Amino acid sequence: MILQLQPAITSSEKQSIVGTLARLGFKSNEVTTQRAHYLVGIGKKEIDIRQLGNLPGIQDIHHVSDEYKLVSRKWKIAHSVIDLGDGVIIGDGSLSIMAGPCSIETEAQVDATIDHLLKSGIRIMRGGVFKPRSSPYAFRGLGIEGLKMWHTKARAAGIKIVSEVMQVSQIADMYDYVDIFQVGARNTQNFNLLDELGKVDKAVMIKRGISGTIEELLSSAEYVFSGGNEKLMLCERGIRTYERASRNTMDINAIPILKEKSHLPVVADPSHGIGIRDFVEPVALAALVAGADGIIYETHQRPEEAFSDGQQTLDFVESATLIKKLKKLEEVVRQF
Ligand code: PEP
Ligand code: MN
């Protein structure tokens, strides 16, 4: 169960709630986020929550039967919104588009991408500086210096940055230079990383694990939320199945399911989802119809020369076309 505590709760009121919960067979986990203060009660017994509702210090109380609690929509019906500042908001009912290269490569590439995004009205740029690559000999990113270079240019253009963090030590190094920490599919269950991201006051986007279930993705999100960070979004990026005709199998099903199970914004990544440049557009459009709050995809001025993931990367003409189609389709979807 989740008890939202009143902001002015006293420590003796809190102790008394924790004591009552313990008597009822529930272990209390205290969670303080940027937005609120909670006690998450974990126990096996079914109890009538009205027994607790009148205790001083409690603002709200909800029974949540899911394994994950704070990210569940059983507790919070309203969808969560993430404000990145400067008018860039995710999850407010409008579609957030995030685009950029798989990897940050050169200054010229960053300039060209920013120019393309500005022309298309896109305010969030993606790009990796720490790249998880299957081969140790492949390009592994420009690292923190590349991020600083990108950040200077993006800030000057009013563009927000989403970039992957691969390990705990990178969080502090990247903190001043990103707007959204991306947790990659290979790190969805890196619980140490998730714990640490719970301690930062910065948005986090968690990608679904390569062979991860929807429940596992939500449990990973619960790590970050219960660590104290509510600025969270989920990302469906395709899963590994027996199908070899595409890089991954984009699980469009996951989008409405995640929206129903959780109050967190849901982003779709058609680039990794299908892995085939020609089909990124239809999958992106399908994800919007399925209810995604955001679309993240890869674009590059010359995909054939990209240091990574060129086979699933749109050129700027294709990207501009996709953006136009997404905006047109969004108008239709909103009328439903
Ligand atoms: C990426 O976004 O470039 C990436 C490596 O994504 P994923 O973790 O989904 O494979
Ligand atoms: Mn990529």
Domain harbouring 28, CATH code: 3.30.70
CA of 182 to the centre of ligand 1 (A): 9
Nearest C-alpha neighbor of 220 from the set 233, 206, 204: 206
Q: Both 44 and 119 in a single domain?
A: no
Average pLDDT, the chain: 97
The residues, any chain, with a CB within 8 Å of residue 88's CB and separated by 6 or more, are 96, 123, 124, 160, 179
Q: Measure the N-to-C terminal CA separation of the chain; round to a whole number of Å.
A: 34
Q: What is the pTM of this model?
A: 0.97
Q: Both 43 and 183 in a single domain?
A: no
CA of 215 to the centre of ligand 2 (A): 24
Residue 46 pLDDT greater than 90, yes or no:
no
Domain count, the chain: 2
Nearest CA to ligand 1 atom 1: 102
Residue 242 pLDDT greater than 90, yes or no:
yes
Q: Give residue 29's pLDDT.
A: 97
Q: Both 312 and 256 in a single domain?
A: yes
Q: Both 7 and 132 in a single domain?
A: no
Q: Give residue 100's pLDDT.
A: 98
Residue 308 pLDDT greater than 90, yes or no:
yes
The residues, any chain, with a CB within 8 Å of residue 61's CB and separated by 6 or more, are 1, 2, 3, 4, 49, 52, 53
**Partners of 163 in beta bridges:** 181
Q: Both 30 and 114 in a single domain?
A: no
**How far is the C-alpha of 140 from the C-alpha of 297, rounded, in Å?**
19
Q: Is residue 94 a part of any domain in this protein? A: yes
> pLDDT band at 294, cuts 50/70/90?
very high
Ligand 1 neighbours (beta carbon < 6 A): 102, 128, 132, 184-186, 207, 237, 272
Q: Both 163 and 215 in a single domain?
A: yes
Nearest C-alpha neighbor of 82 from the set 207, 232, 218: 232
- Top pLDDT among 11 and 54 is at 11
CA of 309 to the centre of ligand 2 (A): 5
Q: Is residue 149 a part of any domain in this protein? A: yes
Q: Both 106 and 183 in a single domain?
A: yes
The amino acid present at 214, given as its one-letter code, is I
Residue 336 pLDDT greater than 90, yes or no:
no
Nearest CA to ligand 1 atom 9: 185
Question: Contacts by 252-257 with C-beta closer than 8 Å and gap 24+?
Answer: 252/283, 252/286, 252/287, 252/290, 254/208, 254/214, 255/287, 255/290, 255/291, 255/292, 256/290, 256/291, 257/214
Q: Both 192 and 223 in a single domain?
A: yes
Q: Which ligand is nearest to the CA of 163?
A: 1
Q: Both 107 and 33 in a single domain?
A: no
> pLDDT band at 44, cuts 50/70/90?
confident
Angle, vertex CA 224, rays to CA 63 and CA 213, nearest 5: 75
* Residue pLDDT, tens place only, 48-100: 888 888 899 999 999 999 999 999 999 999 999 999 999 999 999 999 999 99
| Domain stop point among 14, 32, 62 | 62
Q: Give residue 94's pLDDT.
A: 97
Q: Give residue 174's pLDDT.
A: 98
**Three-class SS of residue 48?**
coil
Q: Give residue 254's pLDDT.
A: 98
The DSSP output letter for 125 is E
| Residue range(s) defining the domain that contains residue 50 | 2-62
Element (H, E) at 97: strand 96-100
Q: Which ligand is nearest to the CA of 310?
A: 2
In this structure, the number of other CB atoms found within 10 A of the CB of residue 55 comes to 15
> Which residue in this structure is represented by tokens 């993931």?
309
* Residue pLDDT, tens place only, 118-168: 999 999 999 999 999 999 999 999 999 999 999 999 999 999 999 999 999
Q: Both 125 and 19 in a single domain?
A: no
DSSP states of 209-246 as a string?
Answer: PTT--HHHHHHHHHHHHHHT---EEEEE--B--S--SS
Radius of gyration over alpha carbons of the chain, in Å? 21
Q: Both 226 and 313 in a single domain?
A: yes
Residue 281 pLDDT greater than 90, yes or no:
yes
Q: What is the CA 61 to chain-centroid distance, rounded?
A: 26
**Three-class SS of residue 204?**
strand
Tokens of 196: 């640490």
